[in-house]
Amino acid sequence: MALTVQELGETVRSTRKQQGLDQLLLGDLAGVSDRFLRDLEHGKPTVRLKEVLQVLDALGLTLQVHPR
């Protein structure tokens, strides 16, 4: 099952909210801008992987890749 950019963004947003973080605080923790977080959470397909991984790490999430 492939994960869409929109699903990734929804996961980031719901996890952020569950942890009681706003976009500014998460951005500070992850070293990214709040603008980047808005783009990521809204499923923008051109977000940079490096920053996505920083956000996931700050939230305690991991990205796994498996062969089909």
Q: Which tens digit of pLDDT belongs to each residue from 19-57?
A: 999 999 999 999 999 999 999 999 999 999 999 999 999
For residue 3, the model assigns a pLDDT of 81
Burial 11-40 (b: 16+ CB within 10 A, else e): ebbebbeeeebebeebbeebebeeebbebb
Q: Please state the domain extents for the chain.
A: 5-59
Query: Do 26 and 16 touch, CB atoms closer than 8 A?
Result: yes
State yes or no: pLDDT of 1 exceeds 80.
Answer: no
Report the predicted TM-score, pTM, of the whole model to 2 decimal places.
0.92
Domain 5-59 class, CATH top level: mainly alpha
